[in-house]
Amino acid sequence: MAHSVDLNTDLLRLDMDDSGVATVWIDDPSAEVNTISRETLDGFSEVLGSLEQMSDLLGVVFISAKEASFIVGADLRMLQQFDTPAEIRGLSRRAHRLHWRVQSLDVPTVAAIEGPCLGGGLEMALSCDYRLASTHDATKLALPEVNLGLIPGGGGTQYLPRLIGLQQALSLMLTGKNTYPRKARKIGLVDALIHSPGLHEAGRRAVRQIANGTVSINRSQPSVAKRLLESNPVSRRIVYRQARRRTRSRTNGHYPAPPRLIDAVKTGLEQGLDRGLDAEMRHFGELAFTDESKALVQLFFGRQAGKDNPVSQHAAPFRTVGILGAGQMGGGITEVTAANDLDVVLKDQTLKQAAAGKRQVWADMNRKMEKGIVNQFERDKVAERVVPTASYDDMSHCDVIIEAVPESLQLKRQVLSEIEDVVSDDAILATNTSSLPIQRIAEGVDDPERVIGMHYFSPVGDIPLVEIITTEQTSDETLSTAYELALAQGKTVIIVNDGPGFYTTRILALYLNEALLLLEEGADVPAVDETMRAYGFPMGPFELLDFVGIDVAGKITEVMDEHLPLDRVDISDSARKLADANLLGQKTNIGFYHYGPAENGTGKERKDFNEDIYRNLGQTSRTTPPAEIVQDRLTLMMVNEAVRCLEDGILRSPSDGDIGAVFGLGFPPYLGGPFRYVDQNGPGAVARRLRDLAYQYGSRFDPPDRIVQHEGRGTRFHRDD
């Protein structure tokens, strides 16, 4: 029988059973998830004060009272309330002190983890003697602070390397990646796994067994080679050097957090725990005030805000989604739908083609199983939710239809018209198109109010964004239901209004077009690609042209040429010339680069540059402008067009513009997106640079009215600046 201990905090509960095992229940009643805030730290301090006074205490279990959610990290809005690094250092010092108090309890302590255990939540778990994790599919552990331009501030840089080893800890912290239960057990991050229903009782049992000596904490030993490499300061220098080199290669020096993280880890291991904690505290405080961290944190808030459906009251329920087209895009949409507990009817022209789409889903889930992200049962369950078919009749019960057929206006109209006659009058008809106007597609159906654009990005499973496009006729119910579906698929959502290329394709098309203009002026393809990768884009523009298809890119830029004012565009015809020569990119294994099968059997990988590109375009000599010119021309072309999308009413807010560019197109996250780029550099400085570019390269670089207005008023796009 358990009894409760009176506390002043309502964020934590403390129960004691008859055997002397205390349970600390973590549960913020005002929030869906638990976070580390100043109030949480106050609560932990009070709870520890009570535990420290208990003479009959056998041990402690720390567990969340929320379903499938432990602690998701620090309350970032709390960090924004501080005015100086010293205040944030003080917060870090408090967390370090609490960590020490948990470790100093003279009884076993167990963290019973289910759901996300991130950031400060994992640091809290690291303070315990023993970690028990549920195999619930929501359980994941990570120190993701580096993705916010920060480093762990509650002791993570010191205690994680001491627990799982230097190399493993640096890998986890420098990437911020999730570790799932089975891998966490394998590397010693958790000590045991348990099925979800028995988590609390397993935690109490572990306390009793550790206390009476029937269970000892034995973690797997690293390999001999790993022990030798990490056992002394001389060999550890190799690990630090390799970590710095890999980090530099990945970030090109644009993110200040990774080198600070390595420094904190090194200080702790080479100079002792206290010095390491001091270094962590100092770096944590300073990083919170960098432009990079501010940009990354605001992107995080933008994504969080996108989880709130603005018209949620109009959403209709859905259980089954019909997907037309079982190719790469349709298969990807099918996977993210089925993997999130929705049934899918997948149609293609033949049952064989539809079945191939289902096999793609199974293969992708199998790779996740091999990585320990899902188990065999979960893999098979996702695949079984997919029903392949060649008949519209099998889709009559679908609540939402998403067509993912090739980019042809006539074909998209045809398939939506045909499926409209089969499904109920309430079913939503969504079209996955990257550039075709939704209004034109909707002309093929009897009820255009039920038609909406849902623009997914390839590869669907990796790119988090869905761009929802509405027309003047799209009903609130259609918009709300499509929004809820995208959220159910685990996607980040922005809503834009209909127009040529919508938002993301429009700004990407002009970015790629500017790269083609550079090519026509004599720029070297690999040099331009390397310059933009070094600037922070995930791939260069010519690599991207090969990926999306040079023929597709050519058609999209033609659409832009038809609809945008002449002074805004200078469309290159290089993509058309290359497409006419059947140089289409990855789909034909040759474009700007040669391609071949990837070693892991998935997709294709770049082999080498195609020197014939220049001859195909009738060019010989190469003169690439300085890197700064290349970066400015390409980046500012995208920024300019993003601002014009806001002026034209395509975008609804600067935040949506930043979210769409970063999470859909790979705009460098440390820059925060096109609008935050303007804010951080200053509208005046950006306007002056645009005028310089317009003088040298043409009126397409003239600064938009909104930038000129902010320049004159001394204002910014984002009010938080």
The residues that are catalytic are: 467
Say if CB 650 and CB 503 are below 8 A apart: yes
**What's the CA gap between 467 and 121, in Å, rounded?**
32
Closest C-alpha to 276, from 266, 262, 286:
266
User: CA-to-CA distance for 428 and 415, rounded, in angstroms?
Assistant: 14
Handedness of CA 392, 395, 400, 404 (dihedral sign): negative
Cα 284–Cα 290–Cα 294 angle in degrees, nearest 5 = 100
Say which amino acid occupies 421: D
Q: How many CB atoms neighbour CB 350 within 10 A?
A: 12
Q: Which position has the token pair 């890197």?
A: 627
C-alpha 630/C-alpha 504 separation (Å) is 21
34 closest CA partner among 60, 10, 81, 66: 66
Pairing label, strands 451-456, 465-470: antiparallel
Locus of tokens 């255009």: 448
192-194 and 3-5 as β-strands: parallel, antiparallel, unpaired? unpaired
Q: Which residue has the tokens 């709870």?
A: 47
Q: Tell me the two tokens of residue 134.
A: 């549920």
Determine the Cα–Cα distance for residues 114 and 141; give it in Å rounded to an integer.
Answer: 10
Find, among 147, 157, 162, the residue nearest to 257 by Cα: 147
In Å, the largest CA–CA distance within the chain is: 87
Instruction: Tell me the C-alpha distance between 26 and 12, whole Å.
Output: 5
Tokens of 234: 């001389």
Separation between Cα atoms, residue 157 and residue 277, nearest integer Å: 8
Q: If you search the block for the tokens 């800890």, which residue do you land on? A: 169
Q: How far apart are the first and last CA of the chain?
A: 54
Which residue type is seen at 134?
Answer: S
Question: Which residues are bridge partners to 452 per DSSP?
Answer: 430
Contacts of 712 (CB under 8 A, 6+ apart): none
Among 168, 12, 159, 172, smallest CA distance to 99 is for: 159
User: CA torsion 683→688→691→696, rounded to 10°?
Assistant: -130
Distance between CA atoms of 219 and 188, rounded to whole angstroms? 6
User: What separation in angstroms does the CA of 440 have from each of 308, 445, 482, 500, 663?
Assistant: 29, 10, 19, 11, 27
Residue with the two structure tokens 């720029």: 523
Q: Nearest to residue 504, comparing CAs of 636, 656, 633?
A: 656
Cβ 483 vs Cβ 400: under 8 Å: no
Find all residues with CB under 8 Å of 378, minimum gap 6, and list them.
Answer: 137, 365, 369
